[in-house]
Structure 1
């Protein structure tokens, strides 16, 4: 099959499984039957060595259903961080479990202010780890922490046993996105890799994460649009379906254009990135996936645009559904919360706009 046919087959498999499986069982089936957690992991570490486009297909479908699972936090962010350390021994020890979905890893990075700055993580290292990180994806259930910390020589990544930390599950705006706060008080840790400064590797992790998150936001926006269009064909006012009203047709047409432009930004960035890791260790089989020089720009564009499209689509879903959309029983509030919660992850839009300005000016 061609690459497009392969992606379509993956999309159909994930969509079909999510549509037929209760949320509680979805992650086990996605990993066991489709192998979604292995997509970002090179074959030498038990993965399939696929590219970011395949990862984005999965996340787009997860964004449509809001299925709680550690795809973004463990199989993308933590896996990319491990690969970026070029630590072959640690990758060989940790990545097979992540690829199988049997181990959940979490990247511990941002502080209370929600800044995912590669040069200024929340924690620091002086022979032990200190600090408090917030908004840790799947942090309450993770078996492995990958902690970004400041050191005298720059930013380094460390492996930490969650049992040596104090972690507390958060009460997020979006209940379908498990977050945690992780406190490290003189915590023992194992440095990953030998590079004195891994800021560039962490910046690449942020770029990859932004593209993956943008794909999820695209799925959320597409579902909001599809659901809203279907509802306007059913709801009758003045003796006709409201889909016949020209003003609403214009609004839905505008939203369709926004969703399709969001799709373009996601795929441009995903293809620029190639694979997820910031480079495999020397001699590793398969592509290194360092990403082209255009990736930081395209990842920022995708994050900014898809954030705004998801928020717009969720708002239109609420407004065009009318009173039913503000009831607890309707799904609209879940998508509204996901759209606004996702906007805060990996940097708010205005932060990426500032970064984009620095890249192009």
Structure 2
């Protein structure tokens, strides 16, 4: 596995960073935090249309660029660095990966071109009140055939919670239980029987919503009852995607801490010259670089569609989630009193660090998952007694 970036991927990083430095500075992030939508439609159109980010990993037949998950990871790392307020994770990772994974050609042709050009905002409505991403048995939303549509249509009833960008998405991919098992159904967000309420969250840079469905008209995607294996892979891809974003944020707060330690003078010398501060920053650097390696391993595993994706995803999510929270916390410690003020950006990264650590499974969950994989591997390779 070659973990070096190509010239094209390096140029993509430079282009995205330059764009986000102009369109997502701290002042703009704070402005968007106070808006109802939580993102700038003009910036999203530029990201999707001019830079082609929304269709980066989509096949060319659907209007995409046909690139891989490594390129998307480069974008997500830069997005995490700038605290980009945009529906990249919900639309580009969750929704698009779900549509592709279900293998419904008609649905892909109907929905993916709109995602690629930025005109369709989509999201996956999976979690319910418990907030569990991995609990297939806990899904209580139901789907039934619509008797008024001669059996061709469906209706969905139930409640979904913690839906990423659920208040602005125009296309909702809802996981519901049918007679055959768990299925994914597409629902127009403006359809009757759909009620969306924005959820108050700690991290105002990433919006969530609670959605109630009351016999909402829906379209079955893929094979009825066969959705969970597809969703498991989608969640692994999402874990890798968030890990890349976390690395970008962790590297940014490390840079903030180092810059402040160089310029903040105490007792007649920069605080970065004190051994305690130097050791703290060195430990942070080690943690961030270790997390970066785990995230990049996950990206290359996802790009190659390798069978050990679940292992790589859990490794990346566990390592990067903890590294980001540690880096964001220590950044505030290095800054001292100013680091806990509203005017300083340190708290914005700390909130994003904590919120992203919960997405798609806490690091403790992924460490348990890793342990199960290791034990299963040992049992499979053990010699008979």
Aligned counterpart in structure 2 of residue 58 of structure 1, from 75, 84, 92: 75
Q: CA deviation at 1:352?
A: 1.8
Bigger Cα displacement from structure 2, 191-200 vs 254-263: 191-200
Change (3 A) 1:16 1:117: same
Give the gaps of 5 or more residues in structure 1: 275-288
- Rounded to whole Å, the distance in 2 between the matches of 1:83 and 1:32 is 21
- Rounded to whole Å, the distance in 1 between the matches of 2:317 and 2:140 is 22
Contact map agreement 1:41 1:49 (CA 8 A) in 2: yes
Pairwise mapping of residues 207-226 of structure 1 onto structure 2 (< 5 A)? 207-226=236-255
Give the gaps of 5 or more residues in structure 2: 29-39, 146-154, 376-385
3-state DSSP of counterpart to 1:189 = strand
From the CA coordinates, give the structure whose radius of gyration is larger. Answer: 2
- Rounded to whole Å, the distance in 2 between the matches of 1:33 and 1:347 is 33
Q: Give per-residue Cα distances to partners, 1:44-97, cap 9 Å, x unaligned.
A: 111011111111111111101111001111011100001111000110110011
**Normalized against structure 2, the TM-score is what?**
0.87
3-state DSSP of counterpart to 1:36 = coil
Pairwise mapping of residues 11-90 of structure 1 onto structure 2 (< 5 A)? 11-22=13-24, 23=28, 24=40, 25-90=42-107
The residue aligned with 1:123 is: 141
Contact map agreement 1:118 1:202 (CA 8 A) in 2: no
The residue aligned with 2:207 is: 178
- Rounded to whole Å, the distance in 1 between the matches of 2:142 and 2:311 is 29
- Rounded to whole Å, the distance in 2 between the matches of 1:47 and 1:33 is 12
Aligned counterpart in structure 2 of residue 254 of structure 1, from 258, 283, 286: 283
Q: Give per-residue Cα distances to partners, 1:189-228, cap 9 Å, x unaligned.
A: 1110125412110000000000000111111100000111
The residue aligned with 2:274 is: 245
Q: CA deviation at 1:126?
A: 3.1
Aligned counterpart in structure 2 of residue 308 of structure 1, from 294, 299, 322: 322
Aligned counterpart in structure 2 of residue 158 of structure 1, from 179, 185, 191: 185
Contact map agreement 1:17 1:26 (CA 8 A) in 2: no
Change (3 A) 1:292 1:91: same
Contact map agreement 1:314 1:336 (CA 8 A) in 2: yes
- Rounded to whole Å, the distance in 2 between the matches of 1:214 and 1:155 is 27
Contact map agreement 1:110 1:122 (CA 8 A) in 2: no
- Larger RCO, structure (CA 8 Å, separation 6 or more): 1
- Rounded to whole Å, the distance in 1 between the matches of 2:346 and 2:5 is 34
CA RMSD after TM alignment: 1.4
3-state DSSP of counterpart to 1:131 = strand
